[in-house]
Structures are given as C-alpha cells and as structure tokens.
Amino acid sequence: MKVHSVTGTMDPNQVQKTMIHEHLVFDLSGVRQEEDKDSRLEDTPILDQEIQLLKDSGCNTIVEVSNIGMGRDAKALYHIAKKHDLVVVASTGFYKESVYPAFVFEKSAEELAEIMIREITVGMDDTDIKAGLISEIGSSLNEITLTEQKVFQASIIAHKQTGAPISTHCEIGTMGKGQLEIFQRNDVNMNQISFGHQDLNTDIEEQLLLLQSGAFIQFDTVGKNSYRKDSDKVENLLVLLNQGYEDQLMLSCDITRKSHLKANGGHGYHHLFESFIPALLNRGVTNEIIEKMLIHNPRKFLAF
C-alpha cells in the first residue's frame, strides 16, 4: 500500500498533516466568465508564501483535486512539490456537468474509465507524472444528471481496476445519499470513498448515513463563511465526533480563487491551522483526534 504522489510512490507514514481537498493550479475563470480571472490559481510567489505557512504548521501533504477540464497542470504540480519538498497527490476524473469537456458527453463510461486508468498507471497530460486518486467526481445542485451518473460509473470502473480511491464533489453539500446509492449498487468498498463538502450539508442524518457505510466524509470548505459559518461547522463536527466517527473525518479549505489567498485579503490555506483547529481544541477536541483527522485518516484513504 503506497501513497501515489506527483513525485512518485511513498510509504503512507511519510504523510504528515494533510489538506484533503485543495486546488493549487486551477482555472475555471473561463467557465465562470470572469474578466478578472479570479478563479485562476497559478504557481506564483504568493502561493509560495501560503505553502510556507502550511509547512510551518507541520502540513506536508496537499491533495490537489483539480481534474481534466479544471485547468490542471501536472508539470506545475511536480514543480511545486519539488520546490517545497511537499507531497502533492494529483487527481484524474471529471468534475460536474457544467464544466465537462465536450468529449465527456460523447464517450462511453468504459472509454472515460480508460482515460482515468491511463492517468493513474502511465501519466497525466502526456507526462509520466501519475494521478494518485480519482477526484473531484461531482454531482450538480440537488441532482445527479445522466452524464454525471456515467462519470460515476467510469470512476468506479477505474477504481476497481487500479485501486485508486475516489473523492467526490457534493454541490453545496447535496446528493451524498444519491452518490452513496451508486457506489453501493456497484459493490464498491466504501472505505475507499470520501464524500466532499459535507460541512455544507446541514442534514446530520444524511452525514451519519454516509459514515455508517464506512466511507470518509470531508469538512473541506473551512473558511468559506459565505456558504456556512465556521462556528456552525465546528458544532456539526462535534456531533459527529461525539458519535464516534473520528476515524472517518478529514479537513481542508478548498481554495479556488485568487481572492481567497492571504496576500489578496482572503483567509488562505493556512486558515485551517490558525483558526479552525484552535476552535476545535477550545471545544475540547483532543490533539489525538486532530491528528486522526489531519494525518492518520488521510494516510488510510490515500494508500492503495
């Protein structure tokens, strides 16, 4: 069992504090029709500063969930990993219907799976830099479209052939139950699945349903208070921890805009460590449980 990073495979024990759902190099500015290109993240000195803050907090692993059609750049991720001595795990897959490249609508689930399998076993973007997970496989707000269902099927085929874990996108926290039904219908081992954006899901019963399946769930939009306040996310997380699910929870900030970066007045990647973790500690969450969410659970999830 190895973690598959952009610089090669490694022992899971090399993974320390981990941000489980992030974007480092990313571009949805065209899809979002932005004149200011706010939704474009690049390898810049500003990013260097952000990563240094993370490293100073003991974070050495970033799971980069940008996939095909989201401005992913394998060479840039390799360069960032080398420059900062960082574990960067890159993703293959397709995001959600509004962002799919045109060919996703035309190809079969089997053909899409072949693309993912090649990126995991051979390399991404005509390089030998390999993807280390299938992510962020998404559904739309309050629905899973027919094409999204096809992409889920393709992801499952690729997962079963390679062993690579699957991390999902639940738009504003919705459709986790629908995603779960697809996985269970296809006899997927649920401890290799992680449901994204569950901190935006205010239905705790649904969160518990996902956890009862054996899957991981992510509280991964920390700092995005316009969606849901961090204070509410803390309360929600405490309920799940009190129910005994500390071995299935993982954390991140899901930075997707230049305006999210500290230098541009945003909360930045480091917000997880400088604000959210202290808030959990203040509420009595132990360091041991924090380390499970940041280190041990990512190690288990990422290794295949």
19-31 pLDDT tens trace? 999 999 999 999 8
153-191 pLDDT tens trace? 999 999 999 999 999 999 999 999 999 999 999 999 999
Is the pLDDT at 205 greater than 90? The verdict is yes
Is the pLDDT at 216 greater than 90? The verdict is yes
The token pair at 3 is 């973690």
Give Cβ neighbours of residue 43 (< 8 Å, ≥ 6 apart): 24, 25, 76, 79, 80
Is the pLDDT at 262 greater than 90? The verdict is yes
* DSSP structural state of residue 99: G
Q: Residue 44 maps to which CATH number?
A: 3.20.20.140
**What is the average pLDDT across 289-296?**
98
104-155 pLDDT tens trace? 999 999 999 999 999 999 999 999 999 999 999 999 999 999 999 999 999 9
Nearest Cα neighbor of 66 from 90, 84, 34, 41 is: 90
Is the pLDDT at 201 greater than 90? The verdict is yes
Strand residues in the chain grouped as ranges (E): 3-5, 8-10, 17-22, 26-27, 40-41, 59-64, 87-89, 91-92, 133-139, 166-170, 193-195, 216-219, 249-251
The token pair at 276 is 């959210």
pLDDT at 223: 97
**What is the average pLDDT across 207-231?**
97
5-16 pLDDT tens trace? 999 999 999 999
**DSSP for 194-228, written as a single string:** EE--GGG---HHHHHHHHHTT-EEEE--TT-TTTS
pLDDT at 8: 97
Question: Rounded to the nearest 10 degrees, how much is the dihedral formed by the CA atoms of 56, 254, 287, 164?
Answer: -100
Bridge pairing between strands 166-170 and 193-195 = parallel
Q: Distance between CA 38 and CA 15 in Å, rounded?
A: 31
Looking at every residue in the chain, the average pLDDT score rounds to 97
**What is the average pLDDT across 275-304?**
98
Number of structural domains found in the chain: 1
Q: Distance between CA 41 and CA 44 in Å, rounded?
A: 9
pLDDT at 31: 86
Q: Distance between CA 21 and CA 219 in Å, rounded?
A: 9
pLDDT at 156: 98
**What is the average pLDDT across 189-213?**
98
pLDDT above 70 as % of the chain:
100
Q: Distance between CA 152 and CA 131 in Å, rounded?
A: 17
Chain mean position to CA 302: 11
Residue 231 belongs to domain spanning = 3-302
Chain mean position to CA 117: 19
Q: Distance between CA 50 and CA 23 in Å, rounded?
A: 12
* DSSP structural state of residue 43: S
84-106 pLDDT tens trace? 999 999 999 999 999 999 999 99
Torsion-angle region of 169 (φ positive above 0: left; ψ -120 to 50: alpha; else: beta) = beta
Q: Distance between CA 158 and CA 110 in Å, rounded?
A: 9
